Amino acid sequence: MNLALRDIRHKLGRFLLTCLGLSLLLGVVLSMIGIYRGLVDDALSLVRAPAADLWVVEAGTRGPFAEASRMPGDTREMVARIPGVAEAGSVTYQTVETHYGGQTLRLQVVGYEPGRMGGPAAIAEGRAIAIRHGEVVADIRAGMALGDRIHLGRDDYLVVGLTRHHVSTGGDPVLFLSLRDAQDLQFLPKPATYRRDQARGAPPPALDTINAVVARLGAGISPEEVSREIGRWKHLGTNTQAQQEAILVQSVVEKARRQIGLFTVILMTVSTVVIALIIYTMTMDKMRDIATLKLIGASDRTIVGLILQQALAMGLIGFGFGWVLVNLVADRFPRRVLLMPEDAVMLAGTVVLVCVLASSLGVRLALRIEPAAALGG
Amino acid sequence: MTPRAPLAELSGISKHFGEGETRVDALRDVTLSLYPSEVVGLLGPSGSGKSTLLNIIGCVIEPNQGRMALDGKLVFDGRSSGADLRRLRLDKIGFIFQFHNLLPFLNSRDNVAVVLELAGQSRSAARQRADELLDYLEVSNRALASPSQLSGGEAQRVAIARALANHPRLILADEPTAALDSQRAGIVMDLLRKVATEQSATVLVVSHDEKIFDRFDRMLHVRDGVLG
């Protein structure tokens, strides 16, 4: 018979309450991992949306995400003409704050040329931008609905499409505009500034400016070869898609990764200590029973099994509760919590190790209990 | 008439705890023999060494000096003989405690069956034997009750059933009637007598309970670690 299971059933309420407490701790660990995964995935969603092979940016910069990058709007035509480039699109990126639904809304605005690369990876509802002015596609996290109007800069824009999982590295939902609208929003001075500049004879503002050109290459074309060709224009630099993703992760997500990683380690340490104390207390409660078991002939292996199985049951049930709990509340987090099965498996494995480690205190105590303790005197 | 062979034989057994100034001689040069089918009382005031003697006979602790054999098997001979004490306890000795010491997370039947499963018997065989013993001790109607649901007398009967599970040759009872009234104490002693007679087991009872002294075949008195 399984003594561990019988003992658990005997004090089921207390055991489940303990598991529930543990599940909150492990749920926080899972959340932290999920937040990190969400952070990376969100960050990469922006850079992966255009499905580019090559990013053309201002020379000497790590733009457009890690550093500012500006170049003339005709760069796209230049890049498109290079042999091996199958398709190219101009893009702009900026962060704006506006008021929507009575609240201040922070948005990552992406400008692209409708019909060319640089737009949303997929439209979840509605349609893509069809005209050059006045339409937007918003991520569902912005809280907008199809047909809504949003005021940006000087104009109102109609929401014609919705996307999912398009957010910035800061977690701000992405708003896709036509390139022209995005350029106006980013580079067109306020009327008063414009009038003042004109009055002092300043040249008109360079509105046809972009932050990057994304390019898709033909089959079998080496990005390095095309990069070399583009590099002949001294004002341009290039990054492959892999380099762009690496820049984003290293520059933007790395500190958050370390922070979350350290916090996760601390939480796992706390969990280990908590499990160890619980198992130790449970063993203390059973000292007389363990002494009796030893006296009637139970082996050390039986006693160790009793404690270890209870520790493992507690850890795994706590983990299971935690997993369910986090899945239930994941959507309520302000930032995306991405729960990956492989992370769950890894954490479950860690919990098993932690339980084995944590039960060592209880096992040590149990092995030191003398069978004579069952007899009086 | 063929002289009976002793079941347990102790010769010159001494046991001390601590060393130097803190040394306490719990037993000194104890020699005794216990025979099958007899019910023996082990008496003595608190701290006299009777619990130490019970622990040594029960293969729970080892003496420092002397020789001990149990059921023909040498257990100690001046120094540890290397005998597997746990296995000896499991196979040859049954224990009965003052407060029954039933495992609170097992029902009556499983409290008995657990000993058999520890000895390697199958679950079904263990349960069958447990049911037989509970029936033998007239407590089969409480087979599925947990220890907390049993009266003192019922719990002690289940404890006796557990002690008998592996057909032990020696039953050691530590104050088995201390928590019971006279009537129930008498019933428990009758049961122990029945076991000793029917199963040729030796029953050694540590007790302060004068009302059961007349139930013993003989009484051993321990005082200051010496068997009188």
The domain boundary, picked from A219, A251, A283, lies at A251
Which amino acid is it at A147? G
When CB atoms are compared, the residue of B54, B113, B119 closest to A297 is: B119
DSSP A295: H
Query: Could you give the CA distance from residue B9 to residue B7 in angstroms, rounded to a whole number?
Result: 7
Mean pLDDT along residues A43-68: 88
ipTM field? 0.85
CB A233 within 8 A of CB A78: yes
Query: Which tens digit of pLDDT belongs to each residue from B56-96?
Result: 999 988 899 999 999 888 888 877 666 788 888 888 999 98
Q: Which among B106, B113, B198, B112 has a CA at the least distance from the CA of B161?
A: B112
Alpha carbon separation from B186 to B138, B139, B193 (Å, rounded): 15, 16, 10
Does the structure show a pLDDT above 70 at B203? yes
User: According to the model, what pLDDT value does residue B134 have?
Assistant: 92
Residues from chain B contacting residue A1 (CB–CB below 8 Å): 106, 110, 113-114, 117, 123
Does the structure show a pLDDT above 80 at B20? yes
User: According to the model, what pLDDT value does residue B51 have?
Assistant: 86
Residues from chain B contacting residue A367 (CB–CB below 8 Å): none
Enclosing H/E stretch for A326: helix A300-329
User: According to the model, what pLDDT value does residue A354 have?
Assistant: 87
B183 touches chain A (CB under 8 A): no
Residues A161, A110, single domain; the answer is yes
Helix (H, G, I), strand (E, B), or coil: what is residue A161? strand
Tell me the pLDDT of chain A averaged across its residues. 89
- The distance of B138 to chain A (nearest Cα, Å) reads 23
Query: Could you give the CA distance from residue B4 to residue B34 in angstroms, rounded to a whole number?
Result: 10
Mean pLDDT along residues B135-147: 90
Query: Could you give the CA distance from residue B211 to residue A201 in angstroms, rounded to a whole number?
Result: 122
Query: Which tens digit of pLDDT belongs to each residue from B189-199?
Result: 888 898 899 88
Residues A300, A369, single domain; the answer is yes
Give the pLDDT band of residue A376 (cuts 50, 70, 90).
low
Residues A323, A246, single domain; the answer is no
Residues A206, A302, single domain; the answer is no
For residue B68, the tally of other CB atoms under 10 A from its CB is 23
Mean pLDDT along residues A346-356: 90
Between A101-115, A240-254, A312-326, B108-122, the lowest mean confidence (pLDDT) is in A240-254
Query: Could you give the CA distance from residue A350 to residue A352 in angstroms, rounded to a whole number?
Result: 5
Residues A268, A322, single domain; the answer is yes
Residues A208, A72, single domain; the answer is yes
CB A159 within 8 A of CB A98: no
User: According to the model, what pLDDT value does residue B2 have?
Assistant: 46
For residue A185, the tally of other CB atoms under 10 A from its CB is 19
User: According to the model, what pLDDT value does residue B66 have?
Assistant: 92
DSSP line for A213-245: EEEEEPTT--HHHHHHHHTTSTTEEEEEHHHHH
The domain boundary, picked from A251, A272, A302, lies at A251
Residues A62, A200, single domain; the answer is yes
Tokens 């109102």, residue? A156
Domain ranges, ordered by start, for chain B: 36-57+81-221
B169 touches chain A (CB under 8 A): no
Does the structure show a pLDDT above 80 at A189? no
Query: Among all residues of chain B, which has the CA nearest to that of A371?
Result: B60
Mean pLDDT along residues A92-97: 92
Residue B172: CB partners within 8 Å, gap ≥ 6? B54, B57, B58, B93, B94, B95, B96, B204, B206
Look at B86 and A3 and tell me if their CB atoms are within 8 Å. Answer: no
Does the structure show a pLDDT above 60 at A110? yes
For residue A67, the tally of other CB atoms under 10 A from its CB is 13
Structure tokens at B186: 């008498």
3-state secondary structure chain B: CCCCCCCEEEEEEEEEECCHHHCEEEEEEEEEEECCCCEEEEECCCCCCHHHHHHHHCCCCCCCEEEEEECCEEEEECEECCCCHHHHHHHHEEEECCCCCCCCCCCHHHHHHHHHHHCCCCHHHHHHHHHHHHHHCCCHHHCCCCHHHCCHHHHHHHHHHHHHCCCCCEEEEECCCCCCCHHHHHHHHHHHHHHHHHHCCEEEEECCCHHHHHHCCEEEEEECCEEC
Between A112-126, A240-254, B107-121, B126-140, the lowest mean confidence (pLDDT) is in A240-254
For residue B71, the tally of other CB atoms under 10 A from its CB is 19
Query: Among all residues of chain B, which has the CA nearest to that of A303?
Result: B118
Residues from chain B contacting residue A288 (CB–CB below 8 Å): 101
The domain boundary, picked from A200, A223, A251, lies at A251
Residues A327, A265, single domain; the answer is yes
Tell me the pLDDT of chain B averaged across its residues. 88
Q: Which among B14, B178, B64, B192 has a CA at the least distance from the CA of A377?
A: B178
Does the structure show a pLDDT above 80 at B4? no
Per CB distance under 8 Å, which residues of A are interface residues toward B? 1, 3, 6-7, 9-11, 288-289, 292-299, 302, 370-372, 374-377
Tokens 């509605």, residue? A126
Alpha carbon separation from A45 to A48, A143, A245, A370 (Å, rounded): 5, 19, 10, 61
The structural architecture, per CATH, of the domain B36-57+81-221 is 3-Layer(aba) Sandwich (3.40)
Residues from chain A contacting residue B46 (CB–CB below 8 Å): 377
User: According to the model, what pLDDT value does residue B3 have?
Assistant: 56
User: According to the model, what pLDDT value does residue B80 have?
Assistant: 67
DSSP A142: G
Structural domain count of chain A? 2
**Domain of A286, in residue numbers:** 3-43+253-374
Does the structure show a pLDDT above 60 at A2? yes
Does residue A188 or residue B162 have the better pLDDT? B162
User: According to the model, what pLDDT value does residue A377 have?
Assistant: 47
Query: Which tens digit of pLDDT belongs to each residue from A154-183?
Result: 889 999 999 988 888 778 899 999 999 999
Residues A165, A285, single domain; the answer is no
User: According to the model, what pLDDT value does residue B108 have?
Assistant: 95
Structure tokens at A374: 């069952």
User: According to the model, what pLDDT value does residue A35 have?
Assistant: 87
User: According to the model, what pLDDT value does residue A317 have?
Assistant: 93
Residues from chain A contacting residue B170 (CB–CB below 8 Å): none
Does residue B207 or residue A215 have the better pLDDT? A215
User: According to the model, what pLDDT value does residue B192 have?
Assistant: 87
User: According to the model, what pLDDT value does residue B126 have?
Assistant: 93
Peptide bond connecting A64 to the previous residue in cis, omega within 30 degrees of 0: yes
When CB atoms are compared, the residue of B61, B89, B104 closest to A296 is: B89
For residue A303, the tally of other CB atoms under 10 A from its CB is 21
User: According to the model, what pLDDT value does residue A316 have?
Assistant: 92
User: According to the model, what pLDDT value does residue A206 have?
Assistant: 73
